[in-house]
Amino acid sequence: MHAPTARAALTTTTLVLVVGLTACTGVPAGSDSAEDEAASGDEVTVRYLVEELEDATAQDLLRTRLDEFEEQNPGITVELETLPFDTMRTVLQTQLRSGDAPDVFNWGSGPSFGGALAEAGLVMDLSEAYEENGWEIYDFAKERVTQDGVVYGVPGEMETIGVYYNKDIFTELGIAEPTTLAELEAAAETVKAAGLIPFAVSDQEGWQGGHLLSIALSSRVGAEQMQQLVSGEGDWSSPEVVETLALWDRYEEAGYLTPFPTSVSYDSGNALFYSGEAAMIPTGSWLVDGITVNADFEAGYIPFPTQDGQGVFSGGLGSGPMVSATTENEEASLALVDFLASPEHGRWMVENLDVIPPFPVDTEGVDVSPLFSQVLQDVEVFAAGQGDLGINIDVLMGDAFNEAMFDGMQAIFSDQGTPEEVAATLQEASTR
């Protein structure tokens, strides 16, 4: 086995690309108001909080990039802070309410993430900033960061969720890329017989189970029916939902998943795939960089299949920049955000962090790994509105539903709930 070292040069000049750590602004970087704020006397320090990146190298790269911002904006210093996703989820609202909040922070796009902060009045309304700066955000993405008419941020990176597989293991075992659910399950049987773990599934933190439901259900029912479910028009206790929950119950019973998934952390699950102990891992496009850096093999990436065909990727928007409503460094914060939201930074993000922004970026001559090149091409189709894309459920549902979903998937993996019971709980939670 060997790590993929070739870099695929992209020739398309307007692929949909990255803003995972980009931002929104009301004032262009280097604008008079930002300069006036810095020149008015004291050095301005902007606290910028992001979720921990997949590897330390990426964080170092981001720090270097922020150093470039500081060089372009004398008098402004950026203090980069990171928190694990689960920690950030629990402490961010507390920080924003206590007066100890970062000035700029990256957080999820959608009702239960940034939308909840906007509803509580904890983030700035960036509607005017959009008009002043002319940000070319895709319409569907901007809708995800709009709550009751308030545009509370720049949407985060575009993400897909599917199944990665180890091409070397598949070749050694004579397994072709699965194109149907039957072929996926046959592959799992072959991998299991070889003494390896078919799927590296972690669910200690809980949110991973929501992604598992998202990918299998999106492929089973399609984007239109998924939209009906998240909008309240569908029934979460329907046979389709029950059958999807039963699929993961069956996979756990068959030994296709990591033993005791609820005791396996996210990082540990990833490590099983990186090391070759597991042949597949169901997760999102954000893992491309981690695979490229840590895995000594070539990986493929497919949507979760259906009985009849390949299925669809689930999709959503990741963490994008928002500004605290109580920041005392508004102009400097907005200058930072504008720098992060620029096409130049977007191009840098594509090339260095393997993430995909919700706006067009010129990528001519940009070198990326073959795996990320595939992800970019897939997302370009979706951004153009030409393909069917499922839904990452937890981004569009509220906290009550997500808690029921996370707990429900853990109940299935620990034999503490049946698919029918979990589906009934989901339907009840969807009405709260």
DSSP string, 395-425: HHS-HHHHHHHHHHHHHHHTTSS-HHHHHHH
Q: Could you tell me the CATH number of the domain that includes residue 86?
A: 3.40.190.10
Tokens, residue 373: 């090149």
Q: Are residues 149 and 168 in the same domain?
A: no
Q: Which residues contact 217 (CB under 8 A, 6 or more apart)?
A: 226, 240, 241, 244, 390, 393
Token reading at 90? 């629990």
Is 6 a member of any domain? Answer: no
Digit-coded pLDDT (tens) for 147-199:
989 999 988 888 899 999 999 999 999 999 999 999 999 999 999 999 999 99
CA-CA distance, 28 to 193, in Å (whole number)?
A: 58
Mean pLDDT for each 10-residue chunk of the chain (432 residues)? 33 36 37 49 89 83 96 96 89 92 93 90 92 82 89 89 98 98 98 98 97 97 94 97 98 98 97 98 93 95 92 88 95 89 86 82 82 82 70 91 97 98 98 89
Same domain as 121, residue 214: no
Instruction: For residues 348 and 215, state if they share a domain.
Output: no
Cβ(196)–Cβ(279) below 8 Å: yes
Strands 158-166 and 278-284: antiparallel
Taking alpha carbons only, the member of 255, 262, 160 closest to residue 202 is 262
Q: Where are the beta strands (DSSP E) in 84-212?
A: 104-108, 146-147, 150-151, 158-166, 197-199
77: burial class by Cβ within 10 Å (0-12, 13-18, 19+)?
middle
Whether residue 213 sits in one domain with residue 91: no
Check residue 133 and give its pLDDT.
Answer: 82
Judgement on whether residues 98 and 153 belong to the same structural domain of the protein: yes
* Residue 296 covered by a domain: yes
| pLDDT at site 412 | 98
pTM value is 0.79
Domain span holding position 53: 13-157+318-366
Instruction: Establish if 5 belongs to a structural domain.
Output: no
Residue at 333 is within a domain: yes
Q: How many domains does the chain have?
A: 2
Q: Is residue 279 part of a domain?
A: yes
Q: Are residues 362 and 409 in the same domain?
A: no
Same domain membership, residue 273 and residue 308: yes
* CA–CA dist 375, 103 (Å, integer): 32
